[in-house]
C-alpha cells in the first residue's frame, strides 16, 4: 500500500531534494505551499516533471494554527492517512540581538518553530491510533551550537530539538518515531549566490572542506523514515561535515 508523506517548505533547496527522494522511495507526497504562491508552486511542480498521483500541491499557512487544524483534518479525510510528517518550513531574518526587532523575532519563531506544533498536532493522534508513523524535524547545526546574529533562528531550531525529544517519548509506545536532522551549511540555490570569498571562508571552517549537498540531507531523512530507522527515536542526526561535534 502506498504511503503518504507531507512536507512543509517543499520548494526550497533542501525541501526539493527531500520531495524528490520521497517520490523515489515510493511515497505519495503532499507538498505544502504558502497562500498566494500557487503559481510558483505549479512552476516548481512542472519543472520537476511530477505527476498528480505522486505529488499533490497543498496550500497551507504553517503559521496559522486554526487553518492548519482545519485543512489537515480535512486532508486526513481525503487521503485516508498521513504516514510521514516532515517539518522543513523555515526562514531567516538575521541581525544582532541588540538591533533585532520584535517582528523579526516573531516571524522566525512563528515560521520555524510554531509551525512544527501547527502541522504536527492535527496529524499526530491519527498516527498513534493506527499504530505507526514518522515525524522528521529539519533543525540546524546552529540550533545546537548557536550562531552570531541568529538568536531568533538558533532559538527556533533548538526548540525543534526539544520538541523532537519530548514528542518521541509520547509516540514511542504507539510506534510513532520522532527525530530531527540538523544540517550544516548546505549547497542550495540561495547559498550558491554568495560571494566566492564568503563561500571559501565557510568551507574553511568545515573539517571536510566542503558544503553538504541537498541530496545528502534528503538521504538522511530517507533513512530515518525507512524500516532501517524504525528503532531510532528522539535523536538528532547531525549532517555537518564535522563543523560541530558533540
Q: Which residues on neighbouring strands pair with residue 172, listed in sequence order?
A: none
Residues 6+ away with beta carbon under 8 Å from 74: none
Looking at 27, 50, 153, 185, which residue is catalytic?
A: 153
Burial of 223 (0-12, 13-18, 19+ CB in 10 A): middle
Contact in structure between 141 and 91 (CB atoms under 8 Å) = no
Task: Confirm whether 153 is a catalytic residue.
Answer: yes
- The CA-based angle 55-31-179, given to 5 degrees, is 115
Contact in structure between 206 and 242 (CB atoms under 8 Å) = yes
Burial profile 45-56: b = 16 or more Cβ within 10 angstroms, e = fewer: beeeebeeebbb
Backbone CA torsion sign across 152, 158, 161, 162: negative
- Half-sphere exposure of 10 toward its Cβ, with a 13 Å CA cutoff? 33
3-state DSSP call for residue 137?
strand
Helix (H) or strand (E) run with residue 153 in it: helix 151-171
Active site residues: 153
Amino acid at each position: 500500500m502506498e504511503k503518504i508523506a507531507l512536507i512543509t517548505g517543499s520548494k526550497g533547496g533542501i525541501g526539493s531534494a527531500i520531495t524528490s527522494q520521497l517520490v523515489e522511495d515510493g511515497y505519495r507526497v503532499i507538498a505544502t505551499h504558502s497562500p498566494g504562491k500557487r503559481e510558483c508552486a505549479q512552476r516548481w511542480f512542472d519543472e520537476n516533471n511530477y505527476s498528480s498521483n505522486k505529488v499533490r500541491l497543498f496550500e497551507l499557512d504553517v503559521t496559522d494554527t486554526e487553518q492548519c487544524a482545519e485543512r489537515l483534518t480535512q486532508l486526513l479525510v481525503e487521503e485516508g492517512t498521513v504516514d510521514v510528517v516532515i517539518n522543513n518550513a523555515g526562514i531567516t531574518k538575521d541581525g544582532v540581538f541588540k538591533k533585532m526587532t520584535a517582528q523579526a523575532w516573531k516571524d522566525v519563531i512563528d515560521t520555524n518553530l510554531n509551525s512544527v506544533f501547527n502541522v504536527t498536532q492535527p496529524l499526530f493522534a491519527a498516527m498513534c491510533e493506527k499504530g505507526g508513523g514518522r515525524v522528521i524535524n529539519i533543525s540546524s547545526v546552529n540550533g545546537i551550537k548557536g550562531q552570531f546574529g541568529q538568536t531568533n533562528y538558533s532559538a527556533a531550531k533548538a526548540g525543534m530539538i526539544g520538541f523532537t525529544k519530548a514528542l518521541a517519548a509520547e509516540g514511542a509506545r504507539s510506534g510513532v518515531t520522532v527525530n530531527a536532522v540538523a544540517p550544516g551549511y548546505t549547497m542550495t540555490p540561495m547559498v550558491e549566490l554568495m560571494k566566492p570569498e564568503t563561500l571559501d571562508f565557510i568551507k574553511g571552517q568545515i573539517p571536510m572542506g566542503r558544503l553538504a549537498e541537498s541530496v545528502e540531507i534528503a538521504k538522511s531523512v530517507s533513512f530515518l523514515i525507512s524500516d532501517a530507522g524504525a528503532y531510532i527515536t528522539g535523536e538528532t542526526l547531525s549532517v555537518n561535515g564535522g563543523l560541530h561535534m558533540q
